[in-house]
Chain A
Amino acid sequence: MKQHKKALVLWIGAVLLLLIGALLAGFHGRTESVQQAMRDAVLHDVNQISLLGLKAVNPGLISAFLVTGLILLAAALIRVLVIPRFQYIPGKFQLALEEAVGLFHGMAQNSSPHRYGFVGAYIFAAGAYIFFGTLFELLGLQGITIHGHPVTLPAPLSDVNAAIALGTLSYLVILSGGIAANGAKGVGKTLKEFSLPISMSFRLFGALLSGLLVTELVYYYVNLSFVLPVIVGVMFTLLHALIQTYVLTMLVSMYYGEVSEPSHKAKS
């Protein structure tokens, strides 16, 4: 009981300290209007970040590199520290890893029973990228724009270039499955779904962008910055992360299965 009281006092103290710090830091005025902020969240044409001094790029690309780096770093640590200690009777973390791999492997196997090795690996990576990339915006990491202003790094897929890249790459993966299984006929089958890369790209972009815009709006006004971000964070980040991961991986595995299905010649 005493411990609970102590923790409560510490928590309230920390909140008050942060509030005082925020008040003391002062408000230096907006660098942009809400219209400009929303427009930039969609287009990323103002607040760009320099990529190693070579080129000014959208903050989404920096986020994408950071997300990939963090995921690969975590994967490397797991590979070195956890996987060699795997047991036949798994612990909680091992079970979670096996569930994640088994989920995408099973999805690929069920949707594309004739050829699922490569698509399983691809949807695992794509799923991890969408899920952790969407959650990445909750970290609120800051980047400095080429104009010297700080900007919060967004979810990579809220950048239209990232969404187009993922949508078109997914389409190419599906196309590769068609070619590997059915050759020219597979190409034909895949090309029939010509609207797929556009629909996948803009579905991702629209879903992630809507979350980003709501979050931008909420954080733009100080009055909305209490309690509401918790709900917005869950509604537009966590649920988007789960839903978009499921939608894209399911679509890719289904179309891959469809185009890679061996064609049966009609018996004369």
Chain B
Amino acid sequence: MSSALEEEIGARTAALVPKWTGVSLDAGPGDVECERGYILHWAEATENANLLYWDEGVAQDVTGGWIAPPSMLSVWMRPLMFNPNAREQVRPLEMHFRLKDAFELPEGIVTGNEIVFGVPVRPGDMIATKQTVTEIGDVRTNRLGTGRPWTIDVTYTNQRGEVVAVESYRMFCYVRSAS
């Protein structure tokens, strides 16, 4: 049985589902280029001793030079928190926040993630993203609150136009349950 809140959110957002499904945002290149400092910070945070990130000789032999850990992908799309040259305020995974605003679902969590990796990211690369809403699910309630799940696919390309990855984010955005 649906709760009153489920019915209210369902009715309020029903027309938004077809309007937003399939919408894409070409977010362009990120604010930062791939560089060794970020790579070492990542390896530090995950206590990753893979010699690809610590030994230039191994990196040269195996990958033809330094690369970034493939899982670092989202680092290259996040805007700087302060940037005097920014033309407009862009949020990380901007499409997700536009959906939250449109659906008036103020809270959100990532519930799942799938990444297919392409060519490696190397120091000096600038990574651009295209973000597409691929699915918006039915209203549901869980322990966090009541809202809708949605999926956003992000295609990452380098400055040569090569696809470095395609990532699917599954989100749940919600209004908190009254406790």
* Chains A and B are bound partners: no
Interface residues of B (CB under 8 A from A): none
A residues with a Cβ closer than 8 A to B are none
